[in-house]
Amino acid sequence: MKEKGLYIKLIPIMLAFFAMGFVDLVGIASNYVKADLGLTDSEANIFPSLVFFWFLIFSVPTGMLMNRIGRKKTVLLSLVVTFFSLLLPIFGDGYTLMLISFSLLGIGNALMQTSLNPLLSNVIRGDKLASSLTFGQFVKAIASFLAPYIAMWGATAAIPSFGLGWRVLFPVYMVIAVIAILLLGAMQIEEEKPEGKPSTFSECFALLGKPFILLCFIGIMCHVGIDVGTNTTAPKILMERLGMGLHDASFATSLYFIFRTAGCFLGAIILSRMSAKLFFGISVMMMAAAMVGLSIFQSKDIIYICIGLIGLGNSNVFSIIFSQAIQSMPQRKNEISGLMIMGLFGGTIFPLFMGLLSDAMASQLGAVIVLSIGVLYLIFLCPKLKSA
């Protein structure tokens, strides 16, 4: 009976994880906006960079907000902001409107990622947390890989798009956000009270003085940089090397998320049986092999294999790093969650440098070089992780 109650509590939390995946629509959306408005790589990459810029601004304040209003209310606030971000593109896809929409999407996601992961730790505790976080990432990845398909179906009128074309993606996900708000709002979750007085900004940032916390923070920056960079750049690689059109090349983004989704599902099972450190090492080596392949080969099949390897390899990196960080200092869970999610600012830095280097080299090889730097750091991080 207790287990049944646990599963009931997990339903709205996992629906919120699905809503968390809405942020990944920025990859395929930026490609469609680029085509609609005739933008350069650098201009188009501002969209994913802008989304993840807000993680730098809002993550630590959200950790402090959770200490005051609780994790559940913070998640609900994030879903409301996400709702408005998805509402705006229904009215058009002008450059300014999309900048505002993606900004709200980034703010909502910063609030959500900071608060939802520790909220899950109120329901699932102990050594099951890493695998549960991975299952949440699996649910999130479903939203991620569906986004390019829904956009493509809307653009090609394969589904009723109500005159919105590829932008039909936004109202579809908006409805799901509303359902998540209603279900989570109706659920009771016991949250532990923070110990002592709420942390100040300086006390939160002082945690980066702990070597392991700092290493994990940079690791998450690299993870999300690789994630956003791959789902944005994969179609461009196919278009550049094989002359594909955008609709055909957008399959590469879906392929990445299909493999990432499969990796999250497998990771939820494997992490309950295998050392996190060993699994992390295997994951990172898959990404390293993919970077070599993308640097050397021109074949469509090999490029697809490399994209799939990045999806598999990157699928569990966040869960492992995040769970080890908050378990290293469980009494500062909210603050560390804020810092780790601030690391998603890597999603701003990587696309910017990828766009600049790709434009400078007149080749997507520039983007692959930037991604490879992130993979090299994760190789360096691996020995520092705990085996548990």
Kindly indicate whether the domain formed by 2-384 is annotated with CATH number 1.10.10.10.
Answer: no
Question: Does residue 191 carry a pLDDT above 80?
Answer: no
Average pLDDT of span 103-129: 80
Kindly report the CA angle at 170 between 168 and 175, in degrees rounded to 5?
105
Report the range of poorest mean pLDDT among 152-156, 290-294, 340-344.
152-156
Give the span between the Cα atoms of 202 and 247, in whole angstroms: 47
- CA nearest 341: which of 101, 67, 108? 108
Q: What phi-psi label fits residue 364: left (phi over 0), alpha (psi between -120 and 50 degrees) or beta?
A: alpha
Give the span between the Cα atoms of 114 and 133, in whole angstroms: 13
Average pLDDT of span 202-221: 87
Q: H/E element holding 276?
A: helix 276-296
Task: Sketch the domain layout of the chain as residue ranges.
Answer: 2-384
What tens digit of pLDDT does each residue of 139-167 get? 887 887 788 778 777 777 767 666 677 77
Residue 197 pLDDT grade (very low, low, confident, very high; cuts 50, 70, 90) = low
As given in the structure block, the two tokens for residue 118 are: 């520790």
- CA nearest 124: which of 285, 280, 13? 13
**Neighbouring residues of 255: CB distance < 8 A, sequence distance ≥ 6:** 234, 304, 307, 308, 311
Residue 242 confidence (pLDDT): 86
As given in the structure block, the two tokens for residue 308 are: 């799939």
Cβ count within 10 A of residue 66 = 27
pTM: 0.75
Question: Does residue 17 carry a pLDDT above 80?
Answer: yes
Averaged confidence pLDDT in the chain: 83
Residue 371 confidence (pLDDT): 93
387 or 308, higher pLDDT: 308
Whole-number CA gyration radius for the chain: 20
As given in the structure block, the two tokens for residue 372 are: 């490879």
Sign of CA dihedral 319, 321, 322, 326: positive
